[in-house]
């Protein structure tokens, strides 16, 4: 249940057009309905996205977003991305689960993906990368991709915090119930369980 009242249909024509463009005809997400009720927040929220075609592959982009949402403990945003993009991004059940429950060194990831996830973790916990972390990242990704990873961490974290902060109690009516049933019981422990949470 949202702590901030969402818009209810029927929506104003311009809002409906924006929802249709973003959702491609599907009903708008609760987070979008909440944001759309506040003109400035909605404008900035829509302007700050990196979901268009950029230098990262879809798989790389979704690993960064899923990991960031897990670190931020935002079940809602994580679940929406898993339900929508895990298939097209060719993320296996094991890999989806690892975004929440395992460290960057999980065996399901490639060497490049491990370096990328380690960078996401570092940016979340310390808001910077060590020389070695940057060296490992740059061994697999060019400058355009590295900048995209860093920006994506920031923007995904911002959206996840907005979604998590505006949510009260259980996430009802979530479109990602199958994923939630598999992975949510200890979701709020974050990657590596309580040890990772305690490190914050």
Q: 159 falls in which pLDDT band (50, 70, 90)?
A: confident
- Which of 60-74, 153-167, 172-186 has the weakest average pLDDT? 172-186
Q: 190 falls in which pLDDT band (50, 70, 90)?
A: low
Instruction: Note every long-range contact of 102-109, with CB atoms under 8 Å and residues 24 or more positions apart, other chains counting.
Output: 102/191, 102/192, 103/191, 103/192, 103/196
* 145 close to 152: Cβ distance less than 8 angstroms: no
- Which of 47-56, 95-104, 117-126, 181-190 has the weakest average pLDDT? 181-190
The count of other CB atoms within 10 Å of the CB of residue 168 is 10
Q: Which residue has the higher pLDDT, 117 or 162?
A: 117
Q: φ and ψ at 167, to 5 degrees?
A: -105, 135
CA-nearest of 72, 184, 84 to 121 is 72
Task: State the pLDDT at residue 166.
Answer: 66
Does residue 102 carry a pLDDT above 50? yes
Q: 177 falls in which pLDDT band (50, 70, 90)?
A: very low
Does residue 176 carry a pLDDT above 50? no
Does residue 114 carry a pLDDT above 90? yes
**DSSP assigned state of 50:** -
Residue range 45-93, pLDDT digits in tens: 777 665 666 799 999 999 999 999 889 888 888 888 888 889 999 999 9
Contacts of 154 (CB under 8 A, 6+ apart): 123
* 178 close to 184: Cβ distance less than 8 angstroms: no
Q: 118 falls in which pLDDT band (50, 70, 90)?
A: very high
pTM, whole model, 2 decimals?
0.71
Domains, the chain, with CATH or none = 13-47 (no CATH), 58-198 (1.20.1290.10)
């Amino acid at each position: 249940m949202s702590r901030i009242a969402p818009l209810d249909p029927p929506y104003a024509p311009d809002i409906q057009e924006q929802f249709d463009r973003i959702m491609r005809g599907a009903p708008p997400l609760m987070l979008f309905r909440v944001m759309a009720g506040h003109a400035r927040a909605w404008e900035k929220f829509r302007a700050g996205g990196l979901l268009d075609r950029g230098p990262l592959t879809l798989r790389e982009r979704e690993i960064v977003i899923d990991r960031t949402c897990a670190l931020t403990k935002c079940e809602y945003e994580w679940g929406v991305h898993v339900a929508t993009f895990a298939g097209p991004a060719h993320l296996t059940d094991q890999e989806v689960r690892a975004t929440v429950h395992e460290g960057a060194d999980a065996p399901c990831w490639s060497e490049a993906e491990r370096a990328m996830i380690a960078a996401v973790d570092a940016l979340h916990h310390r808001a910077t990368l060590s020389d070695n972390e940057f060296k490992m990242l740059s061994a697999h990704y060019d400058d355009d991709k590295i900048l995209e990873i860093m920006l994506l961490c920031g923007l995904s974290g911002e959206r996840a915090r907005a979604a998590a902060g505006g949510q009260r109690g259980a996430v009802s009516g979530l479109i990602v119930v199958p994923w939630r049933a598999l992975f949510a019981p200890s979701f709020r422990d974050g990657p590596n369980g309580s040890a990772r949470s305690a490190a914050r």
